């Protein structure tokens, strides 16, 4: 059982929905990024998504693109992102960390080397948005064999024919993208999301977590009420990009977590 599996089992026992937060590793710099990540569990975050900065992020809107650029300009790399996770694990051995990004940096490092290093750093799962199920032998299958969850995205355009393929080797949870488009581009609507979550849950026993388009405590509560939890990324990254202090970012995250946990 991975930390992700254990977290969802604990939340289910408590009758609570999951709150997942995304931050870009190394934004605005390594030191402050580490302090922000350390503050997330205390703010009520159940699972941390740690963005791996990349030069060509096809699924990300302007807010997260700019965060990636800030991180890269500050010298953030795949190695420094693993270092950040390693530092976090010195104080917290229970909060799951999902590394979210693109395949190129992983490919450049070498899959076997990367998986060994990620496991050693305390990474629990991967979301690699530019590797479709047809490429499962490339990273997904080796990751699962190494004890890492491989989390897949489902979208409003994932139809009945495609859904079984998407779910085939997915583990940990299913990430449902609530809107068509990039991160931060539109607001998620519970009325639209609910039936889609039910459709996915009819095909898998995995938790379904909804992301994209959630930026207030009320939205977090509404979306979590029709799913197993929600993810907030761009709204948090925007606070970091505005130069807010670690304490201010953590306070904002806490308000979102409270919303999700009310659901």
Q: Which residues are catalytic?
A: 49, 60
DSSP secondary structure, 242-257, as one string: TT--HHHHHHHHHHHH
Instruction: Give the chain's length.
Output: 263
How far apart (Å, rounded) are the C-alpha atoms in residues 40 and 38? 6
- Interhelix angle 246-262/234-241, rounded to 10 degrees, is 160
DSSP secondary structure, 142-203, as one string: HHHHTT-EE-EEE-TT--TTTHHHHHTT--S-EEEE-SSSSTTSS---HHHHHHHHHHHHTT
Q: Rounded to the nearest 5 degrees, what angle is found at the Cα of 51, between the Cα atoms of 70 and 123?
A: 135
Contact 13, 228 (CB under 8 A): no
Q: Is residue 209 classed as helix, strand or coil in its secondary structure?
A: strand
Q: Is residue 222 classed as helix, strand or coil in its secondary structure?
A: helix
Q: Is residue 261 classed as helix, strand or coil in its secondary structure?
A: helix
How far apart (Å, rounded) are the C-alpha atoms in residues 5 and 3? 5
């Amino acid at each position: 059982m991975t930390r992700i599996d254990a977290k969802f089992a604990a939340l289910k026992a408590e009758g609570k929905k999951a709150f997942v937060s995304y931050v870009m590793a190394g934004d605005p710099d390594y030191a402050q990024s580490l302090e922000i990540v350390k503050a997330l569990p205390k703010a009520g975050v159940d699972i941390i998504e740690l963005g791996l900065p990349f030069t060509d992020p096809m699924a990300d809107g302007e807010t997260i693109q700019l965060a990636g650029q800030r991180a890269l300009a500050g010298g953030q790399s795949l190695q420094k992102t693993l270092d950040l996770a390693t530092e976090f694990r010195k104080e917290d051995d229970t909060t799951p960390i999902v590394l979210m990004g693109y395949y190129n940096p992983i490919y450049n490092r070498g899959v076997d080397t990367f998986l060994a290093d990620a496991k050693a750093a305390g990474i629990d799962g991967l979301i690699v948005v530019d590797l479709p199920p047809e490429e499962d032998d490339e990273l997904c299958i080796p990751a699962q064999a190494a004890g890492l969850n491989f989390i897949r995205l489902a979208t409003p355009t994932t139809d009945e024919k495609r859904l079984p393929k998407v779910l085939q080797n997915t583990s940990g949870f299913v990430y449902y993208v609530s809107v068509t488009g990039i991160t931060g581009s539109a607001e998620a609507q519970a009325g639209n999301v609910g039936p889609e979550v039910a459709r996915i849950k009819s095909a898998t026993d995995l938790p379904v977590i909804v992301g994209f388009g959630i930026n207030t405590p009320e939205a977090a509560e509404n979306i979590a009420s029709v799913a197993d939890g929600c993810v907030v990324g761009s709204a948090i990254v925007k606070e970091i990009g505005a130069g807010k202090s670690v304490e201010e970012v953590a306070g904002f995250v806490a308000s979102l977590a409270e919303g999700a946990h009310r659901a």
